[in-house]
Structure 1
Amino acid sequence: MTTSNNLIKIIFIIFLLKLLAYLFISYTNLDLYKSGNDSDYYDAYALGKLNYTTSVWPMLLRILNDIGLYSREGVSFTLKIMGIILIPLGAAWVAKENYSPISNKCVILAFLIYSIYPTIFYYTNDIYRDVFMIFIFILALVAVRNSIWQNDITLQLFWLFIFFILSIVLFGLRPYLGFSTIAAYFISKVINLRKFPTLLWIIAYFIFLYLAFLIGALDPIMAYRQNFTSGILVGEANLGINFQNKSLFLIDLSKSYLYQLFGFYWPNKSSMIAFLLESLPFILALAYVVKSRQQIHSFTNYLLIFFFIYNTFWILGNDNLGSAVRLRVFSYLAIYICLFISIQRNDYIKRIK
């Protein structure tokens, strides 16, 4: 049986399982992450009942409504297709190394992992912007990878143009996500994470952030974080990390990473489930990528630098566990792609020895 037939079977089985899960969530009104149902706000804005917005997502929905193409059910169904098929397939394909004998197996395994990612699945259940952002992010990764590996200067510039356009869209959806996507491209041209030990890069990263905090360069991010306490943002401040003591900055930063990125914070059953199903596999994937540091190439170098830049914004700016589960999806995806690329490169090296 061919790889494509296996993949089609997996897609079909996952579709059926997710359909059952959708029915369960709809019937029980389950809210896993308790971070607010902003899809109600998006729907109200699309229908012209509200006029205040901070991203282009509700604006896109209103445009659809103005031309007679909007319905909450229709947009939700489109996002389901993105979450069930397009995002897992795109994320798996961008990690495919064509020279590798195990590339097709890695594509199937990657597709399976992305398909059962709980948070991506959960936010395909309504008109949240998260799924659309992930979809655009995957397209941006496809474009930047094609640009990096093109020898033809014309094609290289074409894919680079597409990458910048998609990054601008991401900026409109979530400014620091779009900024991180673009900034990582330029910084990856200067910094090669393969050159020095991982621990040295981490120490340099923490020192850099501490100095930036002392001179006030991080004040805008900290001001944004305070919005959780004041109630301006959806979701309450529930992590208990405030960064108010300069001498404790590095401790607070470490705690914020442990709680939000690595999931070592379990105030309820949902957080424990998220840790077991999302954070624990991510930790194992990250450990493998770190161990395989010598397999870093241009594209994975870009992904890892994106990982650090993007993490800086949301780890420092967020103080809500439910929001953290949503925000870290992009960080996790970047590492998973690095994981599968590293697996293929390690396997190839073993075969040619």
Structure 2
Amino acid sequence: MRISNHFLFFLCVSIFFIKIVFYYLFSQGFFSTTFGGGSDADYYNDYAKGFYDNAVNVWPILLRFLNDFNFYSRSYVSLFLFFLNLVIIPLLVIKLCDLKFKNNQKEFLILYLLILLYPTLYFYSLDVFRDVFMVFVFLLGIYFVKKSINKSSLSILNLYFVLACLMGVLMMNLRPYLGYAFFLSFLFINFRFTTQRIFLILLLYFSILFIMNYLGMLSTLTDYRSGFEDISGGSTLGLDFSNPISFIPNLILSILGQFFGLYFTNSLAVVLFFIETLPVALMLFYAVKNINYSDMFVRFLIVFFVLYGSVWLIGNDNLGTAVRLRIYNYLVIYICFFYILRTKYLSSKSF
């Protein structure tokens, strides 16, 4: 059954306004963000107002900077983040996929709909969490990477590369390993992926991680993960990474449980699996199958996907936190899927 563009447009508009209504109800106190880590927003707000002096990242420092000049308001910052989630972030992702409403209307609307339906991203736009701002900075960073790759003029290339690096530095100050993964991805930007190489690359990838863990090079991550053992309530996978022999099987279980969401602790986990994870899993399969259509930009995204994902899949054991951490991996898959889909279509028309 083919879905018409008019129906997709109707869905986008409907969900767009439904999200506005829910945001208004939340702002009037009908809902709370205490579920899923609301204390983060409380801490950021208190730091902005001067009640704390220990900044865990640059986000509360930015909020206090606004407060020092009497520009800070929890409701206004939340509204700004909500606007980023509702309008700017979807359009940035669409722009990164080279989709235009006039020429790629169906793909444009489907991608916009997918981001509108992304519940985790929406939840963290309801208060002064750092997540939506980080997503915005990350998307700007890869936008500048894409521009620096595509431009032939040396001066323009340098300008966009500098802007990309500035976004990377900001990412490092928001979440260090997000920024490190972003910068390290430049080192492998010329590495060519093919369908035939993919299994060899996966084998090499797991072998390198096994050796690094055996030599103790991942001890910072595994030690941090062990700190989740005291968390109760079924929110952890309970995987022990201390034994080098079981490292790879446990890593695979961590990928299945945290990235693919196959560890169902409650009804919400089931909902997130069907809304967030299942579309991503299908798009990931398509992207891998058609990896031959990747270019330098897609290769950058794939390397980032692996580097960033490796860190949190090894270091994190909390399922609630995993939903936040995987946002960047999921958005990368969105971009790769629709970018490759468009590239493949244009390639078929050229013959």
Other-structure match for 1:136: 137
Query: 1:177, 1:310 within 8 Å by CA — same for their partners in 2?
Result: yes
Matched, 1:56 2:71: no
Following TM superposition, by how much is the alpha carbon of 1:348 offset from its aligned partner in structure 2, in angstroms?
1.7
* Alpha-carbon distance between aligned partners in 2 of 1:65 and 1:263, rounded to the nearest angstrom: 39
1:295-331 CA distances to partner (integer Å, 9 max, x unpaired)?
Answer: 1111001000000000011101111001000000000
Other-structure match for 1:146: 147
Query: 2:135, 2:328 within 8 Å by CA — same for their partners in 1?
Result: yes
Q: How many residues align?
A: 344
The AA in structure 1 aligned to 2:122 is F
The AA in structure 2 aligned to 1:308 is V
Cα distance, 1:210–1:341 mapped onto 2, change above 3 Å: same
* Alpha-carbon distance between aligned partners in 2 of 1:219 and 1:157, rounded to the nearest angstrom: 37
Match of 1:334 among 309, 332, 335: 332
Cα distance, 1:45–1:30 mapped onto 2, change above 3 Å: closer
Matched, 1:254 2:255: no
Query: 1:228, 1:237 within 8 Å by CA — same for their partners in 2?
Result: no
The equivalences for 1:17-36 within 5 A come to: 17-23=18-24, 26-29=29-32, 34-36=36-38
Other-structure match for 2:322: 324
Following TM superposition, by how much is the alpha carbon of 1:93 offset from its aligned partner in structure 2, in angstroms?
0.8
Query: 2:8, 2:110 within 8 Å by CA — same for their partners in 1?
Result: no
Query: 1:239, 1:319 within 8 Å by CA — same for their partners in 2?
Result: yes
The AA in structure 2 aligned to 1:93 is K
Other-structure match for 2:77: 75
* Alpha-carbon distance between aligned partners in 1 of 2:234 and 2:332, rounded to the nearest angstrom: 28
* Alpha-carbon distance between aligned partners in 1 of 2:293 and 2:99, rounded to the nearest angstrom: 12
1:90-120 CA distances to partner (integer Å, 9 max, x unpaired)?
Answer: 011111168x995444233222211221111
Other-structure match for 1:184: 185
The equivalences for 1:270-289 within 5 A come to: 270-289=268-287
* Alpha-carbon distance between aligned partners in 2 of 1:114 and 1:129, rounded to the nearest angstrom: 18
Following TM superposition, by how much is the alpha carbon of 1:237 offset from its aligned partner in structure 2, in angstroms?
6.1
Secondary structure of 1:322's aligned partner:
helix
Secondary structure of 2:30's aligned partner:
helix
Cα distance, 1:219–1:199 mapped onto 2, change above 3 Å: same
Following TM superposition, by how much is the alpha carbon of 1:251 offset from its aligned partner in structure 2, in angstroms?
0.6
The AA in structure 2 aligned to 1:352 is S
* Alpha-carbon distance between aligned partners in 2 of 1:102 and 1:6, rounded to the nearest angstrom: 17
* Alpha-carbon distance between aligned partners in 2 of 1:209 and 1:42, rounded to the nearest angstrom: 35
1:263-283 CA distances to partner (integer Å, 9 max, x unpaired)?
Answer: 111010111111111011110
Other-structure match for 2:110: 109
Runs of 5+ unmatched residues, structure 1: none
Other-structure match for 1:198: 198
* Alpha-carbon distance between aligned partners in 1 of 2:65 and 2:99, rounded to the nearest angstrom: 39
Cα distance, 1:351–1:77 mapped onto 2, change above 3 Å: same
Following TM superposition, by how much is the alpha carbon of 1:349 offset from its aligned partner in structure 2, in angstroms?
2.3
Following TM superposition, by how much is the alpha carbon of 1:223 offset from its aligned partner in structure 2, in angstroms?
2.2
1:53-98 CA distances to partner (integer Å, 9 max, x unpaired)?
Answer: 2210011111111110001101000000000000011011111168
The AA in structure 1 aligned to 2:75 is E
- Give percent identity, aligned residues only: 32
RMSD: 2.5
Q: TM-score, normalised by structure 1?
A: 0.91
Secondary structure of 2:312's aligned partner:
helix
Following TM superposition, by how much is the alpha carbon of 1:225 offset from its aligned partner in structure 2, in angstroms?
1.8
Query: 2:235, 2:320 within 8 Å by CA — same for their partners in 1?
Result: no
* Alpha-carbon distance between aligned partners in 2 of 1:196 and 1:176, rounded to the nearest angstrom: 30
Secondary structure of 2:349's aligned partner:
helix
Other-structure match for 1:229: 229
Other-structure match for 1:38: 40
Q: TM-score, normalised by structure 2?
A: 0.91
Match of 1:65 among 61, 64, 67: 67
The equivalences for 1:164-183 within 5 A come to: 164-183=165-184
Following TM superposition, by how much is the alpha carbon of 1:40 offset from its aligned partner in structure 2, in angstroms?
0.6
* Alpha-carbon distance between aligned partners in 1 of 2:68 and 2:234, rounded to the nearest angstrom: 34
The AA in structure 2 aligned to 1:248 is S
Following TM superposition, by how much is the alpha carbon of 1:340 offset from its aligned partner in structure 2, in angstroms?
0.2
Following TM superposition, by how much is the alpha carbon of 1:17 offset from its aligned partner in structure 2, in angstroms?
1.1
Query: 2:120, 2:323 within 8 Å by CA — same for their partners in 1?
Result: yes
> Which protein, 1 or 2, shows the higher relative CO under an 8 Å CA cutoff with sep ≥ 6?
1
1:3-50 CA distances to partner (integer Å, 9 max, x unpaired)?
Answer: xx9999776543311022335555243655x34531011111111111
Runs of 5+ unmatched residues, structure 2: 1-5
Query: 2:33, 2:127 within 8 Å by CA — same for their partners in 1?
Result: no
Cα distance, 1:230–1:49 mapped onto 2, change above 3 Å: farther
Answer with 134-143 or 15-24: which moved more: 15-24
